[in-house]
Structure 1
Amino acid sequence: MSVPELIPIRHEPEGRTRTIGRWRGGEFFASVTGPAGRPGWYAVLHRFDAAGRYLDSSIEPTGTGAEARRLLDEWLDALPGREFGSIAIAPFEVRVDGELFGLVIEEDDEVEEDEEDHRFTAELYPDGLGFHEPWCGCYDT
């Protein structure tokens, strides 16, 4: 199965995708995350147009998770017409402080070389959420 142009991401109100949805300008994915092996936390808000194409990101380092959550809440409150829900977005990459943030398509390392059907995942960095076939919006951590 090939990778879709837009990766579906299911909204889970009690899960790690609780702060995703739509706003007047399109779609958004927001999170509080700490890059692996580095101290500190980041408030992250990625914005996409109505077709799921990447527009821009607000990514701000903070000292604590509580500070990052407070900042993220401010950003979310400022999104006009914000509604939480499932989204479908195109892969994208952005770097801040040398750290990768984005939804990146990766080939599965566990597929044998002689297999005709290559398997891919869409990995959200640095959150560590992986999306894959059957591309239903569910994630693995």
Structure 2
Amino acid sequence: MAVPDVIPIKHEPEYRTDTIGRYRDGQFLASVSGAYPKGHEPGADWQTQIRWYAILHTFDAGGFHSGSEIWLAGTNKKDRRDAIERAEAKLQEWLHDLPERAYGDVAVRPFQVEVDEIVFGLVVERRRGRRNWAELYPEGLGFGPPWDGLYDT
């Protein structure tokens, strides 16, 4: 089954897609996520390598990507708890500033941006021997048939 042009993503309160929805100008995907730069995939000291980001992607009503706010809050090298708290605070600021914000399901088109040598976005992937799907990076949420908005991790 082919990847649809517009990929639905279900809102799940108090879980990994709890900060997605619509606002006056369109739709949004927001999260706090840990990520590794290219070439720095997790190794023996993976806990010190992870970087924590606040992420806000916006889309028009048709699901076309209109922009991204991506903010590095810190790394585990210094203090993981502080980095995550800073990222969550920044994310709440951004969400507060979205006019007429309402959490709920979204449907967006694949997109990709790169910041700090890290891919952020909803990327269509095709691998031999596996079905087509779309992966939300760096969150690691995979979407595939039956394209109902539910994800695999």
1:22 maps to amino acid: R
The answer to whether residue 115 in structure 2 is matched with residue 96 in structure 1 is yes
Report the AA paired with residue 126 of structure 1. P
Q: Is the 8 A contact 1:108 1:121 kept in 2?
A: no
Runs of 4+ in structure 1 over 6 Å off: none
2:67 to 47, 51, 56: 56
Residue identity over aligned pairs, in percent, reads: 53
Q: Matches of 1:55 and 1:79 in 2, distance apart?
A: 14
SS in 1 for 2:135: strand
* Distance of 1:50 and 1:5 partners within structure 2: 14
* Residues 11-43 of structure 1: CA deviation (Å, up to 9, x unaligned): 000210000000000000000001044332000
Name 2:9's counterpart in structure 1.
9
RMSD: 1.0
The alpha-carbon deviation at position 4 of structure 1 amounts to 0.7
Tell me the amino acid that sits aligned with residue 25 of structure 1: D
Instruction: Report deviation, 1:126.
Output: 0.6
Distance across 2 between alignment mates of 1:109 and 1:68: 37
Matched with 1:114 is none
In structure 1, the gaps of 5 or more residues are 112-118
Give the structure 2 partner of residue 140 of structure 1: 152
* Rounded Cα–Cα distance in structure 2 between residues aligned with 1:15 and 1:109: 31
Alignment of 1:20-39 (within 5 A): 20-36=20-36, 37=42, 38-39=49-50
Q: What are the Cα deviations for residues 63-112 of structure 1, in whole angstroms up to 9, with x where unaligned? A: 2111000000000000000000000000000000110000000114434x
The answer for unaligned runs of 5 or more in structure 2 is 37-41, 43-48, 75-82
What TM-score, normalized by structure 2, do the two folds share? 0.84
Q: For residue 130 of structure 1, give the secondary structure of its aligned residue in structure 2.
A: strand
Q: TM-score, normalised by structure 1?
A: 0.91
